Amino acid sequence: DAGVIQSPRHEVTEMGQEVTLRCKPISGHDYLFWYRQTMMRGLELLIYFNNNVPIDDSGMPEDRFSAKMPNASFSTLKIQPSEPRDSAVYFCASSSRDRGMREQFFGPGTRLTVL
Amino acid sequence: GIQVEQSPPDLILQEGANSTLRCNFSDSVNNLQWFHQNPWGQLINLFYIPSGTKQNGRLSATTVATERYSLLYISSSQTTDSGVYFCAAPYGGATNKLIFGTGTLLAVQP
């Protein structure tokens, strides 16, 4: 299995620009998660989906952030407009109910720098 | 919501030494995971261990759910063990919303 795939791996953009991060979960997994990691706040859950439906977006920082999952193999996290404080590593993770477990597997992350 | 605390915050070891990392959580859990974030930033799954003991090579983990803690043991440490170790537990009884501890930064010196 290829694992969770994220693109791009690195993104540098200027304040005010739109940023789109992409994620392909592990095939067969029915849950998808978006996390953000910063030095100040550590790893925090932004939003998660079950069977392509957003279940909990209470961690999304503000309206500039949006996430979609149009199908079982693709999700996007969009920031519009981006701000320097959005600079962080964004991780996507997925899980499935395998033998009653809910182990989450993480992608390599996207390191976002907003200038 | 649940609080997840890890100790020690950082640790320096000589290669070959053993160590124990601790994770305390404030509420009962039905899911607990240990991760290793390597120096390149990748989060690697170590254990899914809501209770009991598991071993994988030089690493083992024990979760005592009734006492609300989990331990990660690293034996015969190697330089490749360096990085940050995180434990994560579910928030508010939901299995899927993981709350991460602040991590233990481990440096293994040759």
Structure confidence by residue, pLDDT tens digits, A53-71: 999 999 998 899 999 999 9
Q: CA B102, CA B97: separation in Å to the nearest integer? A: 16
Q: Most A CBs within 10 Å: which of B33, B96, B99, B100, as the mutation test of the A interface?
A: B96
Q: CA A73, CA A71: separation in Å to the nearest integer? A: 6
Q: Is residue B95 pLDDT above 90, yes or no?
A: no
Average pLDDT of chain A to the nearest whole number: 94
What are the angstrom distances between the C-alpha of B39 and each of A10, B35, B107? 16, 13, 10
Pull the structure tokens for residue A66: 């949006």
Among B48, B86, B96, select the one facing A48 at the smallest CB separation: B96
Q: Is residue B32 pLDDT above 80, yes or no?
A: yes
CB B91 within 8 A of CB B99: yes
Among B35, B48, B97, select the one facing A45 at the smallest CB separation: B97
- Half-sphere exposure in the Cβ direction for B53 (13 Å, CA): 4
Average pLDDT of chain B to the nearest whole number: 93
Q: Which residue has the higher pLDDT, A52 or B95?
A: A52
pLDDT at A10: 97
pLDDT at B28: 79
- Nearest one of A70, A68, A83, A89 to A18, comparing CA atoms: A83
In eight-state DSSP terms, residue B65 is G
- Determine contact: B56 vs chain A, CB below 8 A: no
Residue reference for tokens 């991060």 = A21
Among A31, A102, A109, select the one facing B41 at the smallest CB separation: A109
Q: Which residues of B touch A106 (CB under 8 A)?
A: 35, 42-43, 45
Q: Where are the alpha helices (DSSP H) in chain B?
A: none
CB A32 within 8 A of CB A104: no
**Alpha carbon of B53: minimum distance to chain A alpha carbons (Å):** 16
